[in-house]
Structure 1
């Protein structure tokens, strides 16, 4: 999808945000209704998701990889949690996401990589549990 097609930046952003982060997260944060969002959430949806994430030069999977790496470097665990989940939704494997933390050791140091690894493992466990419950299975013991 081009940054200049597919509706307004807000509409493109709402679609991309839902695709990457999932309906549950988006609905819990105002959904696709700009009137239900805080001004900051509207800005994030319009600019971050609708202008940056919809550019054609990088695929969503590539954007997820870069975003996870930057969030590790910036030590932003809350956003890292969201974007690890998004990276898995975008098709990165669990091993690929884990490898981003390994790679971060060389550039961000062990403390950042270790903290990120904890977040990554928590998210992977959560995603597996959610997938099991969606498929009618039980959570792992």
Structure 2
């Protein structure tokens, strides 16, 4: 078995556990031959190699991802990884603290985008109450 295939096989259950089986399986099912190259790479490298290393626990990795994605300004990925952070056992307060820490280093505009993205997911997931209209 090739190393990439072994890493893919190691990463796929981790990816499913963090991001959700439906999300991952739908991503794989929608991928044509061109996009499947990316699906194989991200599953093997990000999930098999990086997330598959047990030196850091999943909660720590989720916190790191939220900070890095804030720095990169990747709101759609922040939404995905907020759900993953919840799946990994992070609390709303831990997610908020990570985003505030990232805001201090990345700037207010990046932090605002991250907070808006996270808030949308946290409300949708029912862990934050939806503010009632007046």
**TM-score, length basis structure 1:** 0.80
The gaps in structure 1 that reach 5 residues or longer are 130-138
The yes-or-no answer on 1:29 pairing with 2:56 is: no
Higher relative contact order (CA 8 A, sep 6+): 2
**TM-score, length basis structure 2:** 0.84
Instruction: Give CA-to-partner distance per residue, 1:67-118, whole Å, 9 cap, x none.
Output: 1100001101111111111011001101111121211221011111111000
Separation in 1 of the partners of 2:93 and 2:131? 19
Matches within 5 A, 1:1-141: 8-30=6-28, 38-128=36-126
Instruction: Give CA-to-partner distance per residue, 1:17-76, whole Å, 9 cap, x none.
Output: 001001111121116xxx8x6110110001110111010110011101001100001101
Separation in 2 of the partners of 1:46 and 1:105? 30
* Count of aligned pairs: 125
The gaps in structure 2 that reach 5 residues or longer are none
What root-mean-square deviation, in Å, do the aligned CA atoms of Structure 1 and Structure 2 show?
2.5
Conserved in 2, the CA contact under 8 Å of 1:101 and 1:114?
A: no
Name segments (4+ residues, structure 1) moved above 2 Å. Answer: none
